[in-house]
Structures are given as C-alpha cells and as structure tokens.
Amino acid sequence: MQSDKTIFAPFIRKNNSTSQVMADVILALLPCIVMSYLAFGFIPVMVILVAVGSALVTEFIFSVIFSRNTESVSDGSAIISGILLAFTIAPFTPLYVVAFGGSMAVLFGKLLWGGLGRNMFNPALVGREFMTVFFPAVMASRTIWYDKTAVNISEINIFNDTFINQLFYKASGAIGEYSIFFLILGGLFLIIRRRISWHIPFALLVAFTILLLIFSNLTDYKVQFSLGGLLLGTIFMATDMPTSASTNYGKLYYGAMIGIVAIVCIINDVKYEYMSYSILLLNAFVIPVNWVFRPKVWGKKPDILTRLWQGLSLTACILLATFAIIYLHHAGWVMYLVFIYIAYCIVRFIARGNE
C-alpha cells in the first residue's frame, strides 16, 4: 500500500514552507501598501491589485496548460512578484500596461525557467523591463508619476523635523517608495524572521555609500538617486533567494557589486534604471559568484591566490558588462537584449520539454 506520509531526510526538520516565507514577505510589504493608499487613495492600490491579479492569472493558465499542476498558484510567489513590480512603477501607470508587466514578470521571469527556485532573474524586475521596452512612451511619461488633484494626504507631521517626517512619509516617486521608515522596518522584520540575511543589504549600502562619498568629494557632479528606490531594491529584490548568492562571503561580494554597479550607472547618466540594471546584471553572474566563493573542501587548504585571481577576473567581467549595458542604454538598444532574452527563454523551454 502506498503511504502518503512525508519522509524527511535524517536529522533535518523544517517547519517553514514556501507559503509561510511568502506570507512574511507580504506582511513586511503591507505597511508600504497602506502608505500608498494614504498618498493617492485607491489609485496605487488598484495598480497593485492589477499587477497581482495578472501574475496569478498567468501562473494559473500556464500551469494548467503545460504542467497540469496548479499548486504553485497558492504558494504566494506570484503575489510577491506582482506587489514588487507595482512598487517599482508610477502610481498612475495605465492598468493595461500594469497587467502586461505582471504577466511577463511571471511568464518570462519564472515559469519559462521551470518555476519557483529555477529562475535566473528577479521576476518583478523582468516584468518592469518588459514594460519599459514594449511601452516606452507610457513609461517615460511624466504624467504617470504625479497628479496634484489625486493627492489624498500630502504630508504627515508626526515629528518636529521635516527630514524625519519625509523619511516616514513622502508622496512622491514609485508606489513602493513613499515610506523609507517602513521599508527599513520591513527589512528588519525579514532579517529577524530569517527570511533574508543581513549580508547583501549591508554590503550593498556600504559600497554604494562609500563610492557616493568619494565621487561627490572628488567632482562637482551632483549624484541624484532615490533613497526609497535604493532601499526597495536592496531589501526586497537583491535578497531574492533563487537569484542571489548562496554563501555568506558570496552574498557580501554580490551585494557590494550591486552597489558599485548602481553608482557606475548613476554617474553615467542612467537616471531611472540603475537599480534594475545592477540587480539583473548581478543575477546573471550568480553562478560564477557562487563558484568563486564556494566553501572549501573539508580537509583541504583553499588556494588563496587562485581564488583571488578568480575574484578579480569576475569583477572585471562584471564591470565590462556594466559599461556595455550603459552603452546599450544610451544607444536605445536595450530592447534588443530583451528580444534576445525572450527568444532564449522560449527556445530553452521548448528544448527542455522535448528532453
């Protein structure tokens, strides 16, 4: 008789499940959703709902057609992808564009790679890049960012300091950027719950801050960036488990390189895509990062010089790729990278299906 009892490997007991992890992430994001409602009422909430709904519908349809298994719809990953996608875009983005982005985030960011845990790139950022490429006029429009007549609450005066009040609430920027305080609080909650580790955010922010100070002191160039956008990417996207480094030293390197790439993009006039480019670029280098910072074999001494050479070579490759992306960005050719990515995902999916 076949038993339905789940058998665990010896000495391994884990009460966590994917849905529990995703529930904690959603809980960490909820205060920022509330702040978006305070800013523009139901408008940004509708954007979030459409992004989540399109992600869930895409996951369900794809699962029914290709895998005959709809259990993945209930794990919460599509909900997270939809929320994070909505958090990176403007509150007045047309809903049909949002629906397109939510669908592409799940389809090309996760499902065509084989599902949750097998994807190479952060799904929410993949969806955002698809929106930018296929709806460039809409995504570049100033009208989708702010509407004075739609402002629900313009400011909140809790503290006696304007700067601190704006850290708590400021109705400008992308949907997920209205409260730096709650972004940080959400990150601390996830660290306490051990859903993410401190290594990537710490290394990213330290590298970004050091280079920012150095560049600001050496030149007259005024570095402009969104602190809310930086923290959103740092806490909730760079730490995505399937697409980030796996070892502690690897995470420190991975986070630091995202911060470095982000600064390099900013000082080369990549104004709005610097966090998307930096995280997606390091996503592409996760496998070599894990290899360079792999744990040493028990009983063997690590070859420090070899590891050092591998690390320097990897850093050089990442920086070369960064300048290549910057060149493509200014030339308006990033769309061709997306087209190549689409073709690769489809061909790869078909090939794996025929195996």
Rg (CA), the chain: 21
Structural domain contains residue 10: no
Structural domain contains residue 9: no
The residues near 89 (Cβ < 8 Å, ≥ 6 apart) are 47, 98, 101, 128, 131, 139, 144, 174, 175
> pLDDT tens-digit profile of 48-107?
999 999 999 999 999 888 877 777 777 889 999 999 999 999 999 999 999 999 999 999
306 three-state secondary structure: helix
Structural domain contains residue 11: no
20/24 Cα distance (integer angstroms): 6
Structural domain contains residue 5: no
294/290 Cα distance (integer angstroms): 6
The DSSP result for 109-156, as a single string, is HTGGGTSTTT-SS-HHHHHHHHHHHHSHHHHT-GGGT--GGG-S----
238 and 271 co-located in one domain: yes
> pLDDT tens-digit profile of 163-190?
898 999 998 899 999 999 999 999 999 9
Q: Are 52 and 37 in contact (CB under 8 A)?
A: no
153 and 251 co-located in one domain: no
Given 174, 195, 216, the domain boundary residue is 195
For 162, list phi and psi in degrees, rounded to 5: -65, -40
260 and 124 co-located in one domain: no
Q: What is the mean pLDDT of the chain?
A: 90
User: In Å, what is the CA distance from 13 to each residue of 16, 194, 241, 245?
Assistant: 9, 16, 20, 24
The tokens describing 300, both together, are: 């063997």
CB neighbours (10 Å) of residue 277? 25
Given 195, 227, 242, the domain boundary residue is 195
124 and 27 co-located in one domain: yes
Q: Tell me the pLDDT band of 17, cut-offs 50, 70 and 90.
A: confident
221 and 328 co-located in one domain: yes
The tokens describing 55, both together, are: 């992600």
Strands (E), 181-297: none
Phi-psi region of 292 (alpha: psi -120 to 50; beta: other; left: phi over 0): alpha
CA-wise closest residue to 80 among 111, 123, 126, 132: 123
Given 195, 225, 255, the domain boundary residue is 195
188 and 103 co-located in one domain: yes
CA-wise closest residue to 258 among 237, 229, 282: 282
Structural domain contains residue 2: no
212 and 101 co-located in one domain: no
Structural domain contains residue 168: yes
21/11 Cα distance (integer angstroms): 22
Structural domain contains residue 90: yes
Q: Tell me the pLDDT band of 228, cut-offs 50, 70 and 90.
A: very high
196/190 Cα distance (integer angstroms): 6
Structural domain of 133: 17-195
Structural domain contains residue 178: yes
235 and 332 co-located in one domain: yes
Most confident of 24-28, 113-117, 162-166, 296-300: 24-28
170 and 294 co-located in one domain: no
> pLDDT tens-digit profile of 100-115?
999 999 999 999 998 8
Q: How many domains would you assign to the chain?
A: 2
Q: Are 124 and 178 in contact (CB under 8 A)?
A: no
249 and 153 co-located in one domain: no
| Whole-structure pTM value | 0.92
> pLDDT tens-digit profile of 153-164?
888 888 888 889
149 and 170 co-located in one domain: yes
208 and 191 co-located in one domain: no
239 three-state secondary structure: coil
Over residues 219-224, the mean pLDDT reads: 79
Q: Are 80 and 242 in contact (CB under 8 A)?
A: no
Q: Are 306 and 347 in contact (CB under 8 A)?
A: no
